[in-house]
Structure 1
Amino acid sequence: MNVYYDRAQKAHAPKHFLVSGAPQPSPEKPERADAMLSGAVNAGLTPVVPPDAGLGPIAAVHTPEYITFLSTIYERWQRIDGASAEVVPNIHPDRRDGAYPKSAVGQAGYHMADTACPISADSWPAIRRSADAAVAAAQAVLAETESNAAPKAYALCRPPGHHAFADMAGGFCFVNNSAVAAGVLRSRYDRVAILDVDLHHGNGTQGVFYARPDVLTVSIHADPVRFYPFFWGHADERGSGAGLGYNYNLPIPRGTADADYMPTLDAALARIAAFAPGALVVALGLDSRADDPFGGLSLTPDGYGAVGRAIAQLGLPTTIVQEGGYLSDDLGPTLTSFLQGIA
């Protein structure tokens, strides 16, 4: 198995985000990529720099309006007298079907759900390379299916992606890398499933596919009734229109540890098996572990190994896309445990 990653992804280095109204240093630090790369190598994976995939796979998920915003907003923001060093929204619309502002400030509010995803001069190139990693991993899985019934590849995507909607960034995320990978896999398979095991609900991924029956979205996460992203991730969100019944949320209590997590995972895997997909995307959050700075769930590195082994039992071509997981001593070892389990 290969790990797809480019050190250029570290150029995005957000400084702060707001927590309960107070500015705090951003935990989405470039150094977390070093820890995860070390964890992947220790699991026996071979590092590969992904090729430039162009804008096509991103444009298959995100609106041209949003892509234009991401690629141009920093330069436009700097023309504002007294503007902050990073693009951070200070106003949000009360609806998304009204007028589209020409103002950089207005567009920032329209396209950024919260203050956790500031944009600097180096952000867009890093975001592009993160998406390239997801594309390369999915393409590698497609290339290996003729000789291997269940090939796997790991995309070390940083910045992450599962909170990004088709036209909106949020929660450290800009381009939805898991959705991009699913789009690549859909070029061959009629049905693709996405299993999100991040601490936080993958609200952007849900939003991208909510009305579609060809991509099943399944998310296990801390109950959002008092936890980010608050407004999405509840059990009664099942999809809409043609996608009704193709979204499955499994919110669990804060503090859930290994033994109580596994029955929920079994339910998620049973739903995926009933969908009979041709391929799987695992949106791998490592922030469900006990010592993650967010402290929402209590999985151990061994628990992540068990999660990987259970997912492997599906026997599907699998693209693993990195989502959350923040700096602590066991970040790298937890990834090693998961990758060894799923392999």
Structure 2
Amino acid sequence: MTVIFDDRQRLHDPRFRLLDGRIVQNPDRPDRVEALLAGVARAGLQPVPPVDHGMAPLAAIHTPRYLTYLRGIHARRAAEVPGLDEVVPSRIAPDRNVHYAMGTEAQIGFHNADTSCPVSAATWDAVYWSAQSALTAADAILRGERWAYALCRPSGHHAYREVAGGFCFLNNTAIAAQHLRTAGHRPAILDIDVHHGNGTQGIFEDRDDVLTVSIHVDPAEFYPFYAGGAQECGIGRGTGYTLNLPLARGSGDAAYLQALAGALEQIAAFGASVIVVALGLDAHEGDPFQGMTVTTQGFARIAAAIAGAGLPVLNMQEGGYLQPVLGDNLASYLTGLRGGVSA
């Protein structure tokens, strides 16, 4: 199995997050990388660096003005606010079907869904190489490999075409799926993060050439709150090509595997040629977000079920936050995917 990671992904070190009216430390810290790399090693794998595919595959998903914003907003805003460490919105655009203002403050509010995506001077390099890792892992599938894993950090599945949110800037899963689609594949995206992949759904919901499936805590009681209901099934030509399988908060292995069986049935009916897994490990019972109670061994069973579909599987790292067994959870999944037994 090819594993892709670039050290520059550590550069994004966000300090700001607003929670219950308090400024708290952002949970997407670079320390996550060490735990995930330990899981990779425990699975007997060794990461290699990505190849630079340039901007075109990013712009196949994200608008040029959004990419320009991400690349330059820190320098622009710091020139107006001396000593600024991180760019964080002070307001959020209530409607994005409006005139696109050129001022920095207006653009910050336009391109953010919440306060969880602070931009520092180093953020662009980290998110750029996270996306390049996703693309290079997709290349492994195009070469005929059965499995590949991209250690993408920051994550991506909450990022819309031109809106950051939920610790996500570039939608690595969508970028990789589009890369495969352009090469002739028929991708099905299977999001197993504890949170709904709202950005991914928003990107593909009007298309019928990419199936999007998400298993997550019911958004009636969990982030992202405003997307991910079972009634959402796509729009226009994409109607019927979005499947949401929300579960009750606290659901464990049995409920999860039952939902996964339904997801894989729909993926087979779609005639997918590859599964792109948005690999969240935050459904674990020990994750700080406390959404589900999936066990470490449960991730091996989830992986084995996905592998049982008989298709190539491209895995994009999404959530999964600092806790003692984060690396064990990744090792369990990667080992289970290859038909092994989790340690």
How would you bin the TM-score normalised by the shorter chain?
A: over 0.9
The answer to whether residue 274 in structure 2 is matched with residue 288 in structure 1 is: no
Mapped partners of 1:6, 1:94: distance in 2 = 36
Does 2:94 correspond to 1:94?
yes
One-letter amino acid of the structure 2 residue matched with residue 127 of structure 1? V
Counterpart for residue 148 of structure 1: none
> 1:79 is paired with a residue of what secondary structure?
helix
Count of residue correspondences: 338
SS in 2 for 1:159: coil
Alignment of 1:180-195 (within 5 A): 180-195=175-190
Who is 1:135 aligned against? 135
Displacement of 1:183 after TM fit?
1.1
Whole-angstrom distance in 2 between the partners of 1:36 and 1:306: 19
Report the 3-state secondary structure (helix = DSSP H, G, I; strand = E; otherwise coil) of the residue aligned with 1:186: helix
What is the 5 A alignment of 1:245-284?
245-284=240-279
* 1:126 alignment counterpart: 126
TM-score, normalization by structure 1: 0.97
TM-superposed CA distance for 1:278, in Å, is 1.2
| 1:40-87 Cα shifts (integer Å, max 9, x gaps) | 121122211111111111111000010000001000110223674201
Aligned partner of residue 250 in structure 1, secondary structure: strand
Q: Which secondary structure state, in structure 2, belongs to the residue aligned with residue 114 of structure 1? A: coil
Instruction: Decide whether aligned partners of structure 1 residues 5 and 190 sit closer, same or farther in structure 2, where only a CA change above 3 A counts.
Output: closer
Residue in structure 1 matched with residue 314 of structure 2 by the alignment = 319
Per-residue deviation at 1:22?
A: 1.8
Structure 2: runs of 5 or more not aligned: 339-343
Alpha-carbon displacement from aligned partner over 1:3-48 (angstroms, at most 9, x marks no partner): 1001110000000211122211111010101110110121122211
Q: Does 1:85 align with 2:80?
A: no
Alignment of 1:1-343 (within 5 A): 1-81=1-81, 84-144=84-144, 151-343=146-338
Contact 1:36 1:331 in 2 (8 A): yes
Mapped partners of 2:133, 2:162: distance in 1: 21
SS in 2 for 1:309: helix
**Structure 1: gaps spanning 5 or more residues:** 146-150
In percent, how many aligned pairs have the same letter?
49
Which deviates more, 48-57 or 73-82? 73-82
Contact 1:192–1:216 (8 Å) recurs in 2: yes
Checking the alignment, whether the CA contact within 8 Å between 1:189 and 1:279 is kept in structure 2 is: no
Q: 3-state DSSP class of the match of 2:259?
A: helix
Letter in 2 for 1:40: V
Q: Distance in 2 between matches of 1:157 and 1:50?
A: 11
* Runs of 4+ more than 4 Å apart: none
Please tell me the residue identity of whatever aligns with 1:286: L
2:341 maps to none
For 1:83 and 1:228, the matched residues in 2 are separated by 32
| Structure 2 SS opposite 1:310 | helix
Greater CA deviation, 187-196 or 317-326? Answer: 187-196
What is the TM-score normalised by the length of structure 2?
Answer: 0.97
Shift of 1:257: 0.8
